[in-house]
């Protein structure tokens, strides 16, 4: 194909495929962290383009809090069956039962922060030396300063001062025993890029990304899905609203936005006009000014 027929999505796609192949070439036991969200779903499509007709050179890994949206779990299981790849699931409930983490109490309790221990245990159990994820620089300021190949120490911790140069798209995956690398093939994409790519590739998504009527409560100024995991009490008013979710995570920390965007074109128009990033609907990012960076330093993805 001549250069003048390529658009910017082709450039982003080519970069991501190159990074995925670099991971396959440089690491012995990589994994693709799969959340059931649009970014990790996009990574699966990119992996298909990078490695088909062969099998993926890595399994999919999902850290299940037990408080995931049912639509996401249904999508995950159906997708894994369709593509015929291996899925490894780490359960936060197992970490709780083993006494490795203590479940939060109170009205705003969440299992989101507990995922870190389950993730690190899953990495250690399977000896993964690289974990691929769908984080993007436009999501949050801590992610904006992280490299595409992000080295983590033997405790899974990220040191923002210990990052490697990535000049001319040369990625250094050399690590010491016990360390691992988190890899972000779509780091340079934006939320709008992802949606444009999903439209172009006709990628199916969990239904919660599209406007639907749902029971919600307003908590801390955000619309939250009315689910038992939210510890709903008499002070909470349950309403039915037309909403959709811009990001997918634990139900206890992922807020919805009111929306009538039922189709992808409607979503793209809605995002184009929005002045709030998709992570603006994540309660876990509002704990402190440096909430995401603190979690990364502790081993969070």
Share of the chain above pLDDT 70, in %: 89
Task: Tell me how far CA of residue 76 lies from CA of 49, 62, 85, 86, 99, in angstroms.
Answer: 19, 9, 11, 12, 28
pLDDT over 60 (residue 301)? no
- Check if the beta carbon of residue 278 is closer than 8 Å to that of residue 209: no
Query: Is residue 174 included in any domain, yes or no?
Result: yes
pLDDT tens-digit map of 227-247: 888 888 888 899 999 999 998
pLDDT over 50 (residue 2)? no
CATH assignment at residue 183: 3.40.50.620
On whether both 47 and 116 belong to a single domain, the answer is yes
Confidence label for 95 from pLDDT (cuts 50, 70 and 90) = very high
On whether both 142 and 32 belong to a single domain, the answer is yes
pLDDT over 90 (residue 141)? no
Please count the other Cβ atoms lying within 10 Å of the Cβ belonging to residue 226: 17
On whether both 110 and 218 belong to a single domain, the answer is no
Assign 199 to helix, strand or coil. helix
On whether both 183 and 253 belong to a single domain, the answer is no
CA distance 84 to 80: 6
Average pLDDT over residues 114-124: 93
Confidence label for 294 from pLDDT (cuts 50, 70 and 90) = low
- The predicted pLDDT at position 58 comes to 97
pLDDT over 90 (residue 18)? yes
CA distance 130 to 24: 9
pTM as predicted: 0.88
On whether both 59 and 18 belong to a single domain, the answer is yes
**Total domains present in the chain:** 2
* Residue 208 φ/ψ region, left for φ over 0, alpha for ψ in the -120 to 50 degree band, beta for the rest: alpha
For residue 297, what are its two tokens?
Answer: 């330093």
Query: Is residue 280 included in any domain, yes or no?
Result: no
pLDDT over 60 (residue 286)? no
Query: Is residue 63 included in any domain, yes or no?
Result: yes
Query: Is residue 66 included in any domain, yes or no?
Result: yes
On whether both 149 and 258 belong to a single domain, the answer is no
On whether both 146 and 166 belong to a single domain, the answer is yes
Q: Which domain holds residue 153?
A: 8-195+289-298
Query: Is residue 279 included in any domain, yes or no?
Result: no
- The predicted pLDDT at position 94 comes to 96
Task: Tell me how far CA of residue 216 lies from CA of 90, 118, 186, 227, 285, in angstroms.
Answer: 28, 29, 32, 8, 20
Structure-model confidence comparison of residues 142 and 120, the more confident one: 120
On whether both 67 and 187 belong to a single domain, the answer is yes
pLDDT tens-digit map of 62-82: 999 999 999 999 999 999 999
On whether both 51 and 86 belong to a single domain, the answer is yes
Query: Is residue 1 included in any domain, yes or no?
Result: no
On whether both 26 and 103 belong to a single domain, the answer is yes
pLDDT over 60 (residue 5)? no
Confidence label for 291 from pLDDT (cuts 50, 70 and 90) = low
On whether both 228 and 172 belong to a single domain, the answer is no
On whether both 189 and 241 belong to a single domain, the answer is no
- The predicted pLDDT at position 287 comes to 47
CA distance 135 to 299: 14
Question: Cα 231 to the chain's mean position, in Å?
Answer: 25
Average pLDDT over residues 126-146: 86
pLDDT tens-digit map of 247-283: 888 898 899 999 999 999 999 999 988 777 675 554 5
């Amino acid at each position: 194909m001549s250069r003048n027929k390529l658009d910017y999505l082709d450039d982003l796609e080519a970069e991501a495929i190159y990074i995925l192949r670099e991971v396959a070439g440089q690491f012995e036991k990589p994994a693709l962290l799969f959340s059931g969200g649009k970014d990790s779903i996009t990574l699966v499509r990119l992996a298909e383009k990078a490695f088909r007709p062969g099998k993926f050179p890595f399994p999919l890994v999902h850290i299940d809090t037990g408080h995931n949206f049912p639509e996401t779990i249904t999508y995950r299981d159906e997708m894994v069956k369709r593509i015929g790849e291996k899925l490894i699931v780490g359960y936060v409930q197992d970490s709780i039962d083993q006494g490795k983490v203590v479940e939060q109490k109170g009205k705003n309790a969440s299992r989101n922060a507990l995922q870190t221990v389950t993730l690190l245990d899953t990495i250690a159990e399977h000896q993964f030396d690289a974990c691929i994820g769908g984080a993007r620089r436009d999501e949050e300021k801590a992610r904006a300063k992280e490299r595409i190949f992000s080295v983590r120490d033997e405790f899974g911790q990220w040191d923002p001062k210990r990052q490697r140069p990535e000049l001319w798209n040369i990625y250094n995956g050399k690590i010491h025993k016990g360390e691992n690398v988190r890899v972000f093939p779509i780091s340079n994409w934006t939320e709008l890029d992802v949606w444009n790519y999903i439209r172009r590739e006709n990628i199916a998504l969990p239904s919660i990304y599209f406007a639907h009527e749902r029971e919600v409560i307003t908590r801390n100024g955000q619309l939250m899905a009315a689910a038992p995991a939210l510890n709903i009490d008499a002070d909470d008013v349950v309403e039915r609203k037309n909403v959709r979710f811009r990001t997918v995570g634990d139900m206890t920390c992922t807020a919805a936005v009111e929306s009538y965007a039922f189709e992808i074109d409607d979503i793209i128009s809605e995002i184009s006009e929005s002045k709030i990033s998709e992570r603006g609907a994540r309660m876990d990012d509002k704990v402190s000014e440096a909430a995401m960076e603190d979690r990364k330093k502790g081993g969070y993805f």
